[in-house]
Amino acid sequence: MQTPNFEIPNEMRDFAEKSVDQARTAVGTMMANAIKASEQMQTAGQTFQSTFTAAVSKGFDHAQNNANAAFDYAQKLVRTRDMREAFELQSEFVRSQFAALQSQAKDFGSLAQNVAR
């Protein structure tokens, strides 16, 4: 007995071949986009990490400076001889700390702007 000869029409074969090519192209494009997104996320993560590290370091520097200023103030305060001198010293300390806090806020604002970019 002879098996029937079944032939796939050329149009169907061409259609199948084009479909495979289109699927290959679509998957290739998807993979390229996924890799690009992964690289962008990695870059953003590295930027965030370095900026966060800088912010933490700045925070410790500012905390140390503020503590030193407070101890210097306390040391000067215990050496005052009268209330007038103590009030003058306190006014000077408040002015200098306010200026320091403004400068520190600018530092953190600058870091935040770098992250936003």
Helix or strand (DSSP H, E) at 62: helix 10-78
Average pLDDT over residues 85-92: 96
Domain for residue 30, yes or no? yes
* pLDDT at 1 (0 to 100): 59
Share of the chain above pLDDT 70, in %: 96
Domain for residue 32, yes or no? yes
Average pLDDT over residues 107-115: 83
Domain for residue 39, yes or no? yes
What is the rounded average pLDDT for all residues in the chain? 91
Average pLDDT over residues 18-34: 96
Domain for residue 33, yes or no? yes
Q: Which domain holds residue 101?
A: 10-116
Helix (H, G, I), strand (E, B) or coil at 6: coil
Q: How many domains does the chain divide into? A: 1
How would residue 48 be classed by pLDDT, with cut points 50, 70 and 90?
Answer: confident
Average pLDDT over residues 9-32: 94
Q: How far apart are CA 103 and CA 97, in angstroms?
A: 10
Domain for residue 4, yes or no? no
* pLDDT at 111 (0 to 100): 82
Closest by CA position to 97, among listed 75, 65, 74: 65
Domain for residue 60, yes or no? yes
